[in-house]
Amino acid sequence: MYLANRSWPELGDYVADESLAVVPLGSTEQHGPHLPEGTDHMIAEALAREATDRTGYLCTPPIPIGVSSHHRQFPGTMWVEAPVFRDYVESLSRNLTYHGIDRIVYVNAHGGNVAHLREVGRRLHDDGTAYAIEWMWDESIPELIEEVFETPGPHGGPKETAMIMHIANELVHADRLEEARDGGAVFDYDAERVHGATTFYDCIENSPNGIFGDQTDATPEIGEELFEAATDQLVALLEWLDDRPFEELMPEPHLEPRSEHRG
């Protein structure tokens, strides 16, 4: 059920029976010379819409701009500062709880959002308002990604390329895949650490064109396989979460000192 397409009586009927909502989030940022800037939020929305179409759960409109200042050297990248992002997502989430939602899945497709979504979820959890968790599609199917790609890359690589080929192939510059690969980098996190310290802040410091991996390995067929597998994982997560009693999802009570330790 897509919230923006429904009337308020329909949504009232939904929250009378259900208390789960899915919020797709991503970014609007450079994804190399071959992919659109909306890659992340397009993937997040497509997965969220498909999973909620299959299950009947509520899906909100997407949040298309996230924490992306580390891509700022590339034209077109948009971002909000991290505290603004956290406060916005928290406010939106509390808005949902006002209408009867008490569990939320953030369907996220941008790595820069992860820590901040976890923090929002912690805030909502700590005060007993809602149980909100972050989910990233590629982390739900790591074995499949390893199986189909030799160098998947963490950003703008073949896994995201294949997904956009499946979702919106007309937006992929297929004639630039070799340029993307040859002008980018194969990401080696360990090589970017010096004596145990991470020494970079911006994407451009690691990749001249802002992306990683071998994009020429991507095909629409692989994208469809990834999309279906990730959707299956998301559906399973939603059903698992819906089955949990709310009390089971809330914080454990404060531990009282044992009686023999009392003065």
For residue 213, the domain's CATH number is: 3.40.50.10310
Q: What is the pLDDT of residues 169-201, one digit of tens each?
A: 999 999 999 999 999 987 665 556 788 888 888
pLDDT at residue 206, rounded to an integer: 87
Spatial contact of 47 and 24, defined as CB atoms under 8 Å apart: yes
Q: Which domain holds residue 218?
A: 3-244
pLDDT at residue 188, rounded to an integer: 60
Q: Is residue 250 domain-resident?
A: no
Q: Is residue 256 domain-resident?
A: no
Q: Is residue 141 domain-resident?
A: yes
Q: Is residue 110 domain-resident?
A: yes
> Which tokens is 181 given?
């690969």
Environment class of residue 74 by beta-carbon count within 10 Å: exposed (0-12), middle (13-18) or buried (19+)?
Answer: middle
Q: Is residue 236 domain-resident?
A: yes
Q: Is residue 90 domain-resident?
A: yes
Q: What is the pLDDT of residues 46-71, one digit of tens each?
A: 999 999 999 999 999 999 999 999 99
Q: Which ranges of the chain does DSSP label H, i.e. alpha helix?
A: 8-17, 39-55, 82-98, 114-126, 137-140, 142-148, 158-168, 177-183, 220-243, 246-249
Q: Is residue 179 domain-resident?
A: yes
pLDDT at residue 244, rounded to an integer: 95
Q: Domains in the chain: how many in total?
A: 1
Residue 119 is which amino acid? E
Residue 76 is which amino acid? G
pLDDT at residue 154, rounded to an integer: 87
pLDDT at residue 90, rounded to an integer: 98
Environment class of residue 16 by beta-carbon count within 10 Å: exposed (0-12), middle (13-18) or buried (19+)?
Answer: exposed
pLDDT at residue 256, rounded to an integer: 80
> What backbone phi and psi angles, to 5 degrees, belong to 197?
-105, 140
Below-50 pLDDT ranges, the chain = none
Q: Is residue 251 domain-resident?
A: no
pLDDT at residue 262, rounded to an integer: 53
